[in-house]
Amino acid sequence: MARLGVKRERHLIEPGLYTMGKPTKESPVFVSANYTLSFDALRSALHGNDCYILVLDTKGINVWCAAGKKTFGTNELVYRIEVVGLNDVVNHRTLIVPQLGATGVDAREVRARSGFKVEFGPVRAADLPEYLKTHQATREMRRVRFTLSDRIVLIPVEMKNFLIPVLIASVILALVGNYTAAAAAMAAAFTGLVLFPIFLQWIPTTDFSIKGFLIGGVTAIPFAQNAFYGMTNETMWVRYGWALAYMLVIPSISAFLALNFTGSSTFTSVTGVKREIFLYMPKIAWMFGIGIILIIVLIAMKLLEGI
């Protein structure tokens, strides 16, 4: 539920200092965001340890996103250290900050302003027990991954944003009596929102938009084939028209959704995404526009025929 952004306010942790087990003045201090999933991951990784968790006010956003916005950042960290009086709580002067916080936390400045040395721990809280044995992170622990399961948990988030327009489009198409086109709208959205994230790493090429075009093309083929061979009581032109419309609209929708997915991926650079928008957005818009006009004309022709 937290991922869907439903009732977000219930997923805020009060910023401040928390204890686990029975910490002493020598126990380690871990820094976290006040986003439930970040905090819970840390707590379960540290289960059985005696330690402190310093929760920053990141407005309920996870460490990485918050670090990008600098709410998980140098100023908030220094401020929070003062507010909780960390100087008096522990004798040592070391904080373990998740590595992904480094985008917002300047370790040297934190030290200069608060006296605390920042040690960047592993990317994933789950690696903490292993890390704590030596305080050395392996190469693996320092890398962000974007595995199948990482991507699958994002599917509902992406779906939430596009569900309503897709439903409206399908309902309109169904109302004008074209159930195949309604199914095609659903299939296009399903391809971009579900199949694309799942197959991301196996689709050839690196650009998200091209990957989206490719996988959308695969989805479009049966619809185009059906239009071409299935609509036997229509004229040749209508069959051509529908086949073409499917081949234009479905890939453009999935390419757009794929391009949009760059926001959730953990490796796309701003420069690259900008280049993609610049290169492919006009093509996507043209394909979509021409396809939609074609569909409107075809449906209008059909309706007029019926009168």
| Cβ at position 17, least distance to another protein in Å | 24
Neighbours of 51 (CB within 10 A): 20
| Cβ at position 12, least distance to another protein in Å | 11
Contact predicate 63/32, CB 8 Å? yes
Q: Which residues contact 97 (CB under 8 A, 6 or more apart)?
A: 31, 77, 105, 107, 118, 119, 120, 121
User: Closest Cα to residue 122, out of 110, 130, 112?
Assistant: 130
User: CB-wise, 242 or 261, nearer to another protein?
Assistant: 261
Q: What are phi and psi of 14, to 5 degrees?
A: -60, 125
Contact predicate 63/36, CB 8 Å? no
| Cβ at position 141, least distance to another protein in Å | 11
| Cβ at position 266, least distance to another protein in Å | 7
Distance CA 58, CA 69 (A): 9
DSSP state of 206: S
Note the residues at the interface with another protein (CB under 8 A). 2-3, 5, 8, 35, 37, 60-62, 64-65, 67-69, 99-100, 102-108, 120, 123, 137, 139, 142-144, 150, 153-154, 157-158, 205-208, 210, 259-260, 262-277, 279, 281
| Residue-level length of the chain | 307
User: CB-wise, 155 or 294, nearer to another protein?
Assistant: 155
| Cβ at position 23, least distance to another protein in Å | 26
Tokens of 230: 């299935």
Contact predicate 73/104, CB 8 Å? yes
User: CB-wise, 84 or 287, nearer to another protein?
Assistant: 287
User: CB-wise, 277 or 301, nearer to another protein?
Assistant: 277
Identify residue 177 by its one-letter amino acid code: G
| Cβ at position 196, least distance to another protein in Å | 13
User: CB-wise, 279 or 296, nearer to another protein?
Assistant: 279
Residue given tokens 């959730």 in the structure block: 264
| Cβ at position 240, least distance to another protein in Å | 29
User: CB-wise, 42 or 84, nearer to another protein?
Assistant: 42
User: Closest Cα to residue 137, out of 146, 125, 149?
Assistant: 125
End-to-end CA distance of the chain: 49
Residue given tokens 């596009």 in the structure block: 162
CA angle, residues 120, 121, 122, in degrees to nearest 5: 125
User: CB-wise, 27 or 268, nearer to another protein?
Assistant: 268
User: CB-wise, 30 or 246, nearer to another protein?
Assistant: 30
| Cβ at position 72, least distance to another protein in Å | 12
Distance CA 109, CA 70 (A): 14
